[in-house]
Amino acid sequence: MRNHISVFSFVSACSFVLMMPGIVRAQAPDPVEPRKQWVTFTLDWAYSHPLHFKERPLEELTGVELGERQAEPEFGSGDGRTTVDIFELNRRIHGWSVAGYPLGAGNGPSLMVRYSYETLPVTRFEIRSPAGSELYLLTDGTAKDFSVGVIVSDRQRGWGLGAHSFFLVGFGKLNGERGSGDRYLGEAGAGINVGPLGFQFAVKIAYNKLSDPRAHSFYTVPIS
């Protein structure tokens, strides 16, 4: 529970991936432009890191300021009357996406729009307070996102080595046993490709909002 990712780490990772096409271009120049690309499909296996989990959603749900503890329960108020036990925070998620390039994606920057689907981390914890005990479950949450941004490509003809990087912003809808909700996101990534096949690394930060059992929010930071 205490492994957190910082905003600095997110920005550093984004800066690195955005440089990848330039690195490949320096190693494998090709004077002949490849045909434009119009659509791509990706499968994603990601590891979602918690970000400010104590503040969002725990303090929003309990209504009091919490501190971290060295032993169970992991979080508690200063007077000890409110505690939170974390039973599960499964960070492995998966999903898929379809990206389109309305003007075609050649070498250099191009417009990119994308629809994506992903699961949310399985989350189980219990809040104990003077008002009683409350179990929070989010075991089947999913997100459907729409985003727009720019992709910078350095592609080669045929089966030549190419690379790309992208940056997107967007919004999405949440669904699951806690009802529906909204979210806003930003994502940066980069990859290498050989012909129609490729591998990519991406970092997304999403701000998620739900209203059950009462209004609260949480961050997800999947790295795939």
Q: 3-class DSSP state for residue 94?
A: strand
CA 11, chain centre distance (Å) = 13
Q: What is the mean pLDDT of residues 28-49?
A: 84
Q: Please give the C-alpha separations between residue 109 and each of 18, 36, 121, 164, 223, in angstroms, as whole numbers.
A: 12, 12, 33, 10, 23
Please give the pLDDT value at position 50.
Answer: 84
Q: What is the mean pLDDT of the chain?
A: 88
- As a whole number of angstroms, the distance between CA 97 and CA 114 comes to 7
Please give the pLDDT value at position 91.
Answer: 86
pTM > 0.95: yes or no? no
H/E element holding 60?
Answer: helix 60-62
Please give the pLDDT value at position 160.
Answer: 79
Joined tokens for residue 34: 């490849």
* Strand arrangement, sheet containing 122-129: 66-68, 75-77, 83-90, 122-129, 132-138
Residue 21 has pLDDT above 80, yes or no: no
Confidence of residue 108 (pLDDT cuts 50, 70, 90): very high
Residue 145 has pLDDT above 80, yes or no: yes
Please give the pLDDT value at position 219.
Answer: 96
